[in-house]
Chain A
């Protein structure tokens, strides 16, 4: 956007000192080429390669930017940070910087003009997680505020992670409270560490701003000026999700429900609500559905275009280099108190600062003061005003309508209604106070009302801010009116069309006849003479068709498709002919309908139609449609052009001005048409001959070029069509200021409206209204402390929506099956499947266990991306059925306790089973006797003690549970509670968890198993080969030879043994003494260490004290802030 700004070219001085200087000195030699040339070939190569690589890093995937360049919607600048960090101060400073207005209360979106091509909408995000999510979804630029004296807080990281999963907008970090750090060294080191952490979180080199102390309740002007310069040059890359959806950040909300309905239902009835805001993203179609996060899905009752409340500077001021000061004053913030006026949901508050005296004439008055004074000027009551007012039904009627005396309450109601539609409903006193002004208004309105029903809206815009803001009116009439108009138009067209047709046809034919004669005299070939008249006929045919307003015939007439086509005169003529041929056979019609009956693609070949093709002339007449016969065609073209030009004037008025505007424009001035033709020819030529230079474009440039061309076409195609018709065709374009009317809005949204919570209107795609099972790739966030469990409720923020659902976690098991996981794996992605609204694959999301501010830890529990959408899902979990054999034959065994009935067995016939010892087998057939017992065969004989088991997969379905988070409907918006875990409910109710006795862990007393000795029958033993025979021997009874003898040593041997013994004893003693010594040394050392430890603990304690003191101060600040932001907590 910034690159469009075309600055005045620099004009170097032609005379004077500078010009004289110019030619002299160093620059005369010019650029020294050798200076930067590489010295060696290798260096040159390296440098070239580096340059090429650097060029590649510059490239990004070309994305279409759907935001119009000429009038883009304001950029949403979100100011985010933990409480007490200075968000409101920054907001006020920035608003002051752009609009020179001081807001005493900044609530809701505030739109200001930042430059000729840039508007900004500031939104302050409160500390609620819901708001942070919503703001993260729409913000184009985030000013992330960090308390420099405290450091990063959990909310900051949470917000960054939310941004990450919803497409990362631009982020500028802002460090505040740096004046609290007194020591320069500490300051610089703090800055450094914070910057380092910030960079790792966003990217290396992310912009971090430093704001020092507060002056007059604002940040220093120079610093704010610098910041605003950064904002003004910021470039934005389109984000994929926002490029697919229309959305709107509502800066104003009005309740349009009739007062009576509200009164009669005690305010509990569903409301009709209008929301106002700039459209962003893509085009918004009229009958699409929208989602308001925190409220729910709604369908648009009507959308209407309003005049821009904060328009760009017009062409007049465009000429100036700078934005004019007057434009700078423009600010649109209906929820705040601009000029001392606050628009609440059903009242207007005028804030008068200090002392207020009526008579101080010289003093400029704010908007609100002016209003109050106008009210005070009221000379008579509303009733009198009404009585005096003269309402004329028509502008030309001479006598005004008489106001008859009516019941008082009826009149009140009337007046009240009018006021309601203006200001979203005043309280009684409000309407009474506005008596005089109101009556004035009514006079003018009465006149206006002749023109159309748009009056209501226009009042609504003019009300209140005459002094500062431009009066804005809806560009187009209300939709209903437009449709009426169109219908009427179509009727008149078809009525009028034929008469004129006849006239003009006659004319043309006459002309043709003349021409034909001329040709004849010139002795042209026979077929050529006919051509002219034939061309004329086809021309007329074309003309007739052109006269038809296809758009309204198709879309706003109740004719059947066949009738639509038959309004074509030529077709009608043929129909008549047919009728004549067949006499008065009325059967024919019905026959035709029965033919239609079959819903066929091919139309019947009409023998009449085909027969005419035997005519040579007709055959020749289409020769120009083939490549072989183009010479004659060109000649004809010239002739026809002439016709067209001569006739051009009279049929232009007959055409529908809305749809055919572009076509008429073409025919209207032949010069333009000629120019266009030349342009086309030139393009064709360029395409043919400029190929070599064009081929220099790489893929990237080609793609960008393609996108630019398409955008150009998008812009040009519907240009010039009347606004309402255009909206019908392509919807409302981004950048428009819209008023959206919603029906059946829960009354709590109005009752509990709080401007500090952003209201978002997100458009839904066709698919996103459906529900289904979403399969997502999910990973538990590494900072979330708990693992996630299957079927525990989880809050997802996906697309525009925030909702609670019950996910089932799973992993792909060898690409065979999806196997359920009870818990999410550590440090690994897994799949999750849950029921919810469909969202496009590749949409990112983040998930939370709870959104409340009470939980101290990191609240984002998981992040991921949508993979797949389906209406059913197949996830299985392992199921092991066990049984025990009760009778064993050789390889066959009867198994019981696995199934309960023969029917169950029948289902599993042929299934594979296994024993614990690894014997494989098969289920054969059910047995009659014990219920559920069956016969099974194994590959070997099983033991009675074996356990047989059957491995099976049990498929599970996620529960179809979807619970949208309705946080905007609550009076206490931070405390939404959805489905809770059973444990949480029990804890709250003080119930104990019921325990299954069988699930208790007890000491299992397993008796030692005793096996009987193996007995081999004697006879068998005898037959066995020796190697297989059991070798059972009795223990030896006799003493051996060696056992019987005593061993006596020789004297030398004895001596040697004794010596060895002594040596060993000595050694032992030595070791013992050494150990003793070491123990003593260690004792000394230990004492020393103990001493050191004591010192260290002392130090730690002091440090901790320091930290706690800081935390305490912060908490105190927060509580101060909560207590009505009374005295500023810091003076500077």
Chain B
């Protein structure tokens, strides 16, 4: 990373999404160089370009310059506009890949978001729409972004042909509330959605049964919903998946997910999901591992007060995210191990002084 003027420069294609989000929120121009320059297929991929297109759609006045070879680009961010936008996502990545950065930007837009995304709704790489609906959006509610926040799953689409469609609605806020979340509590309930498209509805029930066999030993409050889509709404390819959410007494959430692969039985998928959930619960903290960077971002954007959050061990993405935040906002987190009530654990308390970010895009009438 090097900073020249107010252009922040990075090399490599990794962590592209979070950097784009930070650039747009902070208003600093970003330049990314050497994108897969040593690769067999150099330059930006189709889905990355599609993401840039989406950013162009939801902002006004953004300037995106991509080099001839596609191995470098520059983004001079404009204002986040929002409003109703339709975007067709390439089938290589699921809708979650595009939704994740948009969710970070949407509360600070000029108009309430009404984004219509089409493509694959569940895949192995990114958060499925189920998790986004049941976990990511509740995480936003911690920051006072709640009224009218919604993700509607109109159609499901499995890989490889997709055909799903989701509507994302998000209100506009003036400022994110300060978070002070250090009590992880104890898991009080587990919910889950098992969905199957273009396969036998029995698959869904089989997944539920085998997941229950693992989870019921801990807690009786386990409800797994079977969500079978049929006909037009079920997309173009067969597939099934199970997503699980554990909620604690203090509304801390942990989630996991497993997606069908060729040659795997529904039981394998369900066991994978259940075990992953247990692993996630063991890691602990107040925030799910996959949502660490979202929560940290909102903490940075909060009012000029101290925000605190207890988390499990950071993921590599989170570590890089912390570094990127420093580049764009100049904010560093205080990271100390948390052992408040004598329970030794690998938990960390992240605390930061919010930047007092105020949504400048919002119109006053």
The complex places the Cα of A592 from the Cα of B49 at a distance, in Å, of 24
Taken residue by residue from 564 to 601, chain A's Cβ proximity to chain B (1 for < 8 Å, 0 otherwise) reads as: 11001000000000000000000000000000111111
Taken residue by residue from 262 to 285, chain B's Cβ proximity to chain A (1 for < 8 Å, 0 otherwise) reads as: 000000000110011011011010
B118 at the interface (CB under 8 A from A): no
Taken residue by residue from 595 to 631, chain A's Cβ proximity to chain B (1 for < 8 Å, 0 otherwise) reads as: 0111111111100011001000001001111111110
Known contacts A282-B356, A603-B315: does B348 contact A714 (CB below 8 Å)?
no
The complex places the Cα of A624 from the Cα of B125 at a distance, in Å, of 31
Classify chain A: how many residues form its interface, as a range. Answer: 35 or more
- When the two chains form their complex, are residues A729 and B282 in contact, meaning their CB atoms are under 8 A apart? no
The listed residue (B61, B125, B186, B346) touching A626 by CB distance below 8 A is B186
Known contacts A627-B187, A766-B27, A867-B365: does B60 contact A872 (CB below 8 Å)?
yes
The complex places the Cα of A641 from the Cα of B313 at a distance, in Å, of 22
Classify chain B: how many residues form its interface, as a range. Answer: 35 or more
- When the two chains form their complex, are residues A565 and B14 in contact, meaning their CB atoms are under 8 A apart? no
List the one stretch of B157-165, B191-199, B319-327 in contact with chain A.
B319-327
Question: For residues 329 through 349 of chain B, which have their beta carbon under 8 Å from a beta carbon of chain A?
Answer: 329-337, 339, 341-346, 348
Chain A residues closer than 8 Å to B353, beta-carbon distance: 283, 714, 718, 729-731
B260 at the interface (CB under 8 A from A): no
- When the two chains form their complex, are residues B282 and A626 in contact, meaning their CB atoms are under 8 A apart? no
Chain B residues closer than 8 Å to A64, beta-carbon distance: 303, 305
- When the two chains form their complex, are residues A714 and B219 in contact, meaning their CB atoms are under 8 A apart? no
Chain B residues closer than 8 Å to A623, beta-carbon distance: 218
The listed residue (A551, A718, A731, A872) touching B335 by CB distance below 8 A is A551
B155 at the interface (CB under 8 A from A): no
Chain B residues closer than 8 Å to A301, beta-carbon distance: none
- When the two chains form their complex, are residues A659 and B335 in contact, meaning their CB atoms are under 8 A apart? yes
Chain B residues closer than 8 Å to A728, beta-carbon distance: 332
Chain B residue, CB-CB nearest to A598: B125
The listed residue (B323, B337, B346) touching A555 by CB distance below 8 A is B323
Chain B residues closer than 8 Å to A599, beta-carbon distance: 13-17
- When the two chains form their complex, are residues B334 and A605 in contact, meaning their CB atoms are under 8 A apart? no
B141 at the interface (CB under 8 A from A): no
Best-surrounded residue of A535, A538, A561 (most CB of chain B within 10 A): A561
- When the two chains form their complex, are residues B60 and A871 in contact, meaning their CB atoms are under 8 A apart? yes
- When the two chains form their complex, are residues A601 and B341 in contact, meaning their CB atoms are under 8 A apart? no
Chain A residues closer than 8 Å to B6, beta-carbon distance: 769
The listed residue (B96, B219, B323) touching A627 by CB distance below 8 A is B219
- When the two chains form their complex, are residues A542 and B346 in contact, meaning their CB atoms are under 8 A apart? yes
Known contacts A603-B315, A610-B275: does B336 contact A869 (CB below 8 Å)?
no
List the one stretch of A8-16, A285-293, A313-321, A354-362 in contact with chain B.
A285-293
- When the two chains form their complex, are residues B79 and A538 in contact, meaning their CB atoms are under 8 A apart? no
- When the two chains form their complex, are residues A717 and B351 in contact, meaning their CB atoms are under 8 A apart? yes
- When the two chains form their complex, are residues A663 and B363 in contact, meaning their CB atoms are under 8 A apart? no
The complex places the Cα of A872 from the Cα of B60 at a distance, in Å, of 7
The complex places the Cα of A1118 from the Cα of B362 at a distance, in Å, of 49
Taken residue by residue from 12 to 35, chain B's Cβ proximity to chain A (1 for < 8 Å, 0 otherwise) reads as: 011111000000011110000000
Question: For residues 246 through 301 of chain A, which have their beta carbon under 8 Å from a beta carbon of chain B?
Answer: 282-283, 285-288
The complex places the Cα of A601 from the Cα of B306 at a distance, in Å, of 27
Chain A residues closer than 8 Å to B11, beta-carbon distance: none
Known contacts A561-B316, A710-B178, A769-B6: does B337 contact A542 (CB below 8 Å)?
yes
Known contacts A554-B322, A555-B323, A610-B272: does B334 contact A766 (CB below 8 Å)?
no
Taken residue by residue from 132 to 174, chain B's Cβ proximity to chain A (1 for < 8 Å, 0 otherwise) reads as: 0000000000000000000000000000000000000000000
Chain A residue, CB-CB nearest to B282: A622
B310 at the interface (CB under 8 A from A): no
- When the two chains form their complex, are residues A286 and B342 in contact, meaning their CB atoms are under 8 A apart? no
Instruction: Count how many pairs of residues, one from A and one from B, have CB atoms less than 8 Å apart in the complex.
Output: 246
- When the two chains form their complex, are residues A713 and B79 in contact, meaning their CB atoms are under 8 A apart? no
Q: How far is the CB of A281 from chain B (nearest CB, A)?
A: 10
B314 at the interface (CB under 8 A from A): yes
Known contacts A623-B218, A663-B336, A868-B364: does B343 contact A613 (CB below 8 Å)?
no
Q: How far is the CB of A808 from chain B (nearest CB, A)?
A: 18
B88 at the interface (CB under 8 A from A): no
Known contacts A283-B353, A602-B257, A731-B353: does B360 contact A838 (CB below 8 Å)?
yes
- When the two chains form their complex, are residues B100 and A625 in contact, meaning their CB atoms are under 8 A apart? no
The listed residue (A630, A644, A766, A838) touching B329 by CB distance below 8 A is A766
Known contacts A538-B345, A555-B326: does B336 contact A66 (CB below 8 Å)?
no
A841 at the interface (CB under 8 A from B): yes
- When the two chains form their complex, are residues B339 and A542 in contact, meaning their CB atoms are under 8 A apart? yes
Chain A residues closer than 8 Å to B17, beta-carbon distance: 599
- When the two chains form their complex, are residues B60 and A870 in contact, meaning their CB atoms are under 8 A apart? yes
Chain B residue, CB-CB nearest to A721: B334
Chain B residue, CB-CB nearest to A709: B180
B110 at the interface (CB under 8 A from A): yes
A539 at the interface (CB under 8 A from B): yes
The complex places the Cα of A602 from the Cα of B326 at a distance, in Å, of 24
Q: How far is the CB of A69 from chain B (nearest CB, A)?
A: 15
Chain B residues closer than 8 Å to A604, beta-carbon distance: 124
Known contacts A545-B346, A626-B187: does B276 contact A610 (CB below 8 Å)?
yes
The listed residue (A285, A629, A767) touching B218 by CB distance below 8 A is A629
Chain B residue, CB-CB nearest to A281: B304
Known contacts A288-B330, A729-B334: does B342 contact A641 (CB below 8 Å)?
yes
B355 at the interface (CB under 8 A from A): yes
B126 at the interface (CB under 8 A from A): yes
- When the two chains form their complex, are residues A555 and B344 in contact, meaning their CB atoms are under 8 A apart? no
Chain B residues closer than 8 Å to A770, beta-carbon distance: 27
Chain A residues closer than 8 Å to B281, beta-carbon distance: 622, 625
B114 at the interface (CB under 8 A from A): no
Chain B residue, CB-CB nearest to A728: B332
B236 at the interface (CB under 8 A from A): no
Best-surrounded residue of A610, A629, A636, A731 (most CB of chain B within 10 A): A610
- When the two chains form their complex, are residues B126 and A602 in contact, meaning their CB atoms are under 8 A apart? yes
The complex places the Cα of A244 from the Cα of B175 at a distance, in Å, of 12
B358 at the interface (CB under 8 A from A): yes
Taken residue by residue from 827 to 852, chain A's Cβ proximity to chain B (1 for < 8 Å, 0 otherwise) reads as: 00000000000101110000000000
- When the two chains form their complex, are residues A538 and B344 in contact, meaning their CB atoms are under 8 A apart? yes
Question: For residues 964 through 1019 of chain A, which have their beta carbon under 8 Å from a beta carbon of chain B?
Answer: none
- When the two chains form their complex, are residues B27 and A637 in contact, meaning their CB atoms are under 8 A apart? no
- When the two chains form their complex, are residues A561 and B308 in contact, meaning their CB atoms are under 8 A apart? no
B298 at the interface (CB under 8 A from A): no
Best-surrounded residue of A64, A601, A604, A677 (most CB of chain B within 10 A): A601
A550 at the interface (CB under 8 A from B): yes
Chain A residues closer than 8 Å to B235, beta-carbon distance: none
Question: For residues 534 through 548 of chain A, which have their beta carbon under 8 Å from a beta carbon of chain B?
Answer: 535, 538-539, 541-543, 545-546
Known contacts A710-B178, A872-B61: does B337 contact A545 (CB below 8 Å)?
yes
The complex places the Cα of A550 from the Cα of B335 at a distance, in Å, of 6
Return 14 A-B CB contacts under 8 Å, by A number: A550-B348, A568-B313, A599-B14, A604-B124, A610-B275, A622-B278, A625-B281, A628-B218, A644-B344, A659-B334, A765-B355, A766-B25, A869-B360, A871-B79
**18 additional contacts, CB 8 Å, given A555-B323, A602-B124, A602-B257?**
A551-B335, A555-B332, A561-B318, A564-B316, A625-B187, A626-B219, A636-B343, A644-B342, A663-B336, A677-B341, A766-B355, A767-B360, A772-B79, A866-B364, A867-B363, A869-B360, A870-B60, A870-B79
Shortest 6 CB-CB distances between A and B: which pairs?
A871-B61, A542-B344, A561-B316, A561-B319, A730-B353, A600-B125
Residues of B that sit less than 8 Å from A by CB = 6, 13-17, 25-28, 60-61, 78-79, 93, 96-97, 100, 110, 124-127, 178, 180, 186-188, 214, 217-220, 249, 257-258, 271-272, 275-276, 278-279, 281-282, 284, 289-290, 303-306, 308, 313-320, 322-323, 326, 328-337, 339, 341-346, 348, 351-353, 355-358, 360-365
Residues of A that sit less than 8 Å from B by CB = 64, 66, 244, 282-283, 285-288, 535, 538-539, 541-543, 545-546, 550-551, 554-555, 560-562, 564-565, 568, 596-605, 609-610, 613, 619, 622-630, 633, 636-638, 640-641, 643-644, 659-660, 662-663, 677, 710-711, 713-714, 717-718, 721, 728-731, 765-767, 769-770, 772, 838, 840-842, 865-872
